[in-house]
Structure 1
Amino acid sequence: MAQHPEHPVVSTAPGDVRGLWRGEPGAPGASAAFLGIPFAQPPVGDLRFAAPVPPEPWEGVRDALAYGATAHRIDPGDTLIPEPAIPGDSTLNVNVFTPAPGGDARLPVMVYIHGGGYVAGSPASPWYDGRSFNRDGVVTVTLSYRLGFDGFGHIPGAPSNRGVRDWLAALEWVRDNIAAFGGDPARVTIAGQSAGGGAVLTLLGMPAAQHLFHSAWAMSAALADVAPERARTLSAKLAHLAGVTPNRDGFASVPEKTLHDLQHDAATPDSRDPLAAVHVILDDGLSWGPMIDGELLTQPTVASLAAGVGSDKPLVLGTTDDEFTMVTDSARGKLRLVPASFALGKLKLPRGARRAYLAANVAQRRKGTAAVLGRYVTDVVFRSDVVRVAEARGDARTWVYRFTWVSPTRGWALHCLDVPFWFDCLDAEGVTALAGDAPPRRLADAVHGAAVGLVRDGDPGWPTWAEQPGATRMFGGEASRPDVDPDGYRSVRSLVAGPTAWA
């Protein structure tokens, strides 16, 4: 097939797609982008709450020159990661970035799943451009999926976990088509951050997904594992707010925007307690996200990993040090005179556990009660799961890290701060707001280099948890040598119950 020098054409199963070269083809650092390729039909009309359906074939060459429509519909304003909302119905699409389109390069592949609490987020973020991975010989794919109630809500008469099924369908598309973009379908790494990291762990613990990838990297993973009864309760509450019968026909009669607006109200506790929403997160977790449906997900993710699912696949996981502290920091003045132990008691942490936790977090306690509360929520929601997952996997190859570098603009090693270092996109739109005008180049080299090491060689470059239990790679500052703490997550061990809690 004839190729225009600026627009490479690749043949996929449904039809040919036309991409765009960035840089001179064949020159160092050049890569091609193929954007908005559908992996499923638009989830509208009769397909709105259906499992994803393969796209209809097309004739001729389809332009893949601009990002496709996103399930993320509303521009939320100033977010930590730029998240474009692109209108349109065809929201189930992939973006492919490759240095070798149309060839037989058989390069390793990295498939990235965006975050956003399972209710927001966009695969069209400029931070997720794969050009730096392409430079290092890795084909990169970003994917979209249905969000919030449309993707994860319990609907009698509709398939469960539709967003999870979207992940599976996108990975099946990668398996069937990525060779045409120069990728090797036998060397696929899945990666993601926040809800995307939770998606990675969910897929790693899911028997139905095991044939679709070969290694995994989970950043700041937010697991959902919504219990069936809670999913049913939320669905009934949403139906009541919408004034419809809680079944497929009832929900299908409600416009997408209306359900989007109401899903927040359905998940918000009916309480005047200002800490009620925090209690829901600490006690029950996220409201919308993968649920235990008895089909795709038969048990909580950590229990599945402890049972050996995914044990043949290398995994890297870790967090930033203060994922949530930016939120509590806004109340620093009000909390200045409140004892940390008293404040933790308000979050229902028992007295004995409070003493153990504060003793393990002396340095954080010196920063004030707001800092302690932020770290505690960070530990419950994010950091304690790192230890649970690493220990649940036993002898499986598992590497653990912490991202400790503090944002010069926000004052914490906060949620999302590690993402531009991982993608090595320090010059991308919006990075300076989070990482300042001079983010350390060596830190990006270290974090991104570790990611490439896993994707390309199956090893990020430091000892596994099984080899040295507790071993944690510390990513922070300008250090060029790997800095490994022998027990980097010691401060959360008082919150980790033990193996009997995984069942």
Structure 2
Amino acid sequence: MTDTSTSTRYVVADTVAGQVRGFWRGEPGAGGSAAFLGIPFAKPPVGALRFAAPVPMDPWEGVRDALAFGATAQRGDTGITLIPEPSIPGHATLNVNVFTPAPGETDAALPVLVWIHGGGYISGSPASPWYDGRAFNRDGVVTVTISYRLGFDGFGHIDGAPSNRGVRDWIAALEWVQANIADFGGDPARVTIAGQSAGGGAVLRLLAMPAAQHLFHAVWALSAARADVAPERARSASNRLARLAEVEPTPDGFASVPEETLRSLQEKASHPESGDRLAGVRTLLADGLSWGPMIDGDLVPEPTLAALRSGVGADKPLVLGTTDDEFTMVLDDAANKLRFVPAGLAFAKLGVDRERRRAYLADNRPQRRKGTAALLGRYVTDTVFRSTVVKVADARAAAPTWVYRFSWPSPTRRWALHCLDVPFWFDCLDDPRVAAIAGDEPPRRLAAAVHGAAVAFARGDDPGWPAWSGAPGTTRVFGGEASAPDVVADGYRSVRALL
């Protein structure tokens, strides 16, 4: 149903809770797509629902406007970020945004892409202009972006409250997709989940969860940051947070603390009480992020890799990869200070044992020639991100798995850094904020290759190169040197010492 009575073309779609009003961008049927923004998939998580599992919305009468992004769990200005992710005030933070070329066409049965944003499980926003599904819609793929509770509210351990509330939000949003996406032209039997950074870790976590298997059919993980927080670590962080907030570590105790206060204290609660920054870095490299999916023995019964090795999700195709230097840039400012520090000594300070550091240094001679700061940055990248690719691909054994690297270096930030691949994947190079990370003339052929692979995969085809599961090590290299092959036999060999 389209309303053309005003200059804005409105369109109405049905959901199980009631009708929603979206709007067209461009001409219907001529390459345009409709956006439905801020559709609630659960009641606002406030008051008695703050630390509860998500509760489905009550039906509403009439037509509900879905013309602006809904409230985000992220609050305030998070400072300079690599991806523009605005914070939107309000309480109804559990919402989805749907972008579709075929609203109301229940027989269109288009493939569906569901995007989970990153942000270390403590920040991020589904309202980023880079996550707009316009290009996927152009290529016949309905796109959905979802929100979820962040930080302690989403993932903190509380005795007497449901665990993994953020994970339960992901599941509730995917259940909404299953129940409603046909009314937006999508096929609930062809849902690909995708995400970057913490969002990449989220989709791997869902892939490895028995309770989520019926909700999607394929997975693409960009720069996945796994959490798999151990129960004792989660309890320790929550108890410390309670002490900092001067409350009991109970639902009532935490509920008595304003959201902004807990948010300001949660970072301190996740760091070593000694205040030793180097110890904090060692903990991050060894144990991963402090807030995120917890092994609770219930919804999340075991770590991601263990579940994948046991065959969970083996029927679902997976694509995963990273940029070459995700976090190498974090040590750029320290390059001068570190230039006279021997690499072996720097690795020893990080607690890397002699045998491992010797093997790693031998496998990374080209990076070593760029200086100690560049090598340490690559080590952080490899430990947190790139080694995950090999571990996951190996854990899946013969399950259909494709691996890639994004190797094109940013002309403004030097490296093929974290988040650089996102505007290429979404094919949104025309967004004015892309220039800050990708320069004024990012290569459109590279966007066509990356985005084209994502579209093919969402449609149910292979992404366009041989699978790792058929020949372990096989890796597609996006944006490598012109003289180098696009597909290499062992694209992640340089991280083998870390496995």
Bin for the TM-score computed over the shorter chain: over 0.9
Which residue number corresponds to residue 81 of structure 2? 79
Contact between 1:314 and 1:458, CA under 8 Å: does it hold in 2?
no
Contact between 2:174 and 2:215, CA under 8 Å: does it hold in 1?
yes
Which residue number corresponds to residue 336 of structure 2? 333
Contact between 1:127 and 1:429, CA under 8 Å: does it hold in 2?
no
> 1:106: Cα distance to partner?
0.4
Residue 378 (structure 2) aligned to one of 375, 378, 381: 375
Moved more, 108-117 or 320-329: 320-329
Cα distance in 2 between the residues matched to 1:224 and 1:469? 25
Q: Does 1:258 find its partner at 2:248?
A: no
Cα distance in 1 between the residues matched to 2:385 and 2:274? 25
Residue 487 (structure 1) aligned to one of 482, 487, 490: 490
Q: Could you give the per-residue CA deviations for residues 343-400 of structure 1, whole angstroms, max 9, x where no partner exists?
A: 0111111111111000000000000000110010111111111001001001000000
Cα distance in 2 between the residues matched to 1:143 and 1:117? 16
> 1:457: Cα distance to partner?
2.5
Residues 59-138 of structure 1 mapped to structure 2, 5 A cutoff: 59-103=61-105, 104-138=107-141
Residue 32 (structure 1) aligned to one of 31, 34, 49: 34
Contact between 2:405 and 2:477, CA under 8 Å: does it hold in 1?
yes
Q: Could you give the per-residue CA deviations for residues 37-59 of structure 1, whole angstroms, max 9, x where no partner exists?
A: 00000000100000000011111
Contact between 1:442 and 1:480, CA under 8 Å: does it hold in 2?
no
Cα distance in 2 between the residues matched to 1:428 and 1:35? 19
Residue 453 (structure 2) aligned to one of 447, 450, 468: 450
> 1:270: Cα distance to partner?
2.8
> 1:478: Cα distance to partner?
8.5
TM-score by length of 2: 0.98
Which residue number corresponds to residue 421 of structure 1? 424
Partner SS state of residue 430, structure 1: helix
Q: Does 1:141 find its partner at 2:139?
A: no
Residues 159-308 of structure 1 mapped to structure 2, 5 A cutoff: 159-308=162-311
Q: Does 1:364 find its partner at 2:359?
A: no
Task: Tell me the amino acid that sits aligned with residue 77 of structure 2.
Answer: D
Which residue number corresponds to residue 470 of structure 1? 473
TM-score by length of 1: 0.97
Which residue number corresponds to residue 11 of structure 1? 14
> 1:430: Cα distance to partner?
1.5
Which residue number corresponds to residue 152 of structure 1? 155
Q: 1:482 to 1:65 in 2, by over 3 A?
A: farther
Q: What is the aligned-residue identity percentage?
A: 74
Cα distance in 1 between the residues matched to 2:497 and 2:485? 27
Q: Please, which runs of 5 or more residues in structure 1 have no aligned partner?
A: 497-503
Partner SS state of residue 405, structure 1: coil
Which residue number corresponds to residue 46 of structure 2? 44
Cα distance in 2 between the residues matched to 1:277 and 1:229? 17
Task: Tell me the amino acid that sits aligned with residue 410 of structure 2.
Answer: S
Contact between 1:440 and 1:478, CA under 8 Å: does it hold in 2?
no
Partner SS state of residue 19, structure 1: strand
Q: Please, which runs of 5 or more residues in structure 2 have no aligned partner?
A: none
> 1:275: Cα distance to partner?
1.8
Structure 1 segments, 4+ long, off by >2 Å, are 1-5, 270-274, 477-482
Cα distance in 1 between the residues matched to 2:127 and 2:232? 34
Task: Tell me the amino acid that sits aligned with residue 496 of structure 2.
Answer: R
> 1:312: Cα distance to partner?
0.2
Contact between 1:285 and 1:381, CA under 8 Å: does it hold in 2?
yes
